[in-house]
Amino acid sequence: MIDVRGLACPMPVVMVRREMEKNSPASMEVLLDNQTAVENVSRFAGSNGYQVEVRPAEDDEFTLVLTKQG
């Protein structure tokens, strides 16, 4: 799980990109705490071949479940 709570964009996208480049995971979870980061990470992941599932958590937090397609 990548925890990017409290980080302003573009850092959440940068951290997800690093994980993708380093490990090329089949799936990963990203913990976020703002809507802008949810949108940016979702867009980035989608453009890199990942299906995105947004799971709202408590206190304005979200978990993104990214799953590699194909």
Catalytic residue among 2, 5, 7, 9: 9
Are 12 and 28 in contact, with CB atoms under 8 Å apart?
no
35 is catalytic: no
Sheet holding 27-32: strands in order across? 2-3, 27-32, 62-68, 50-56
Residues annotated as catalytic are: 9
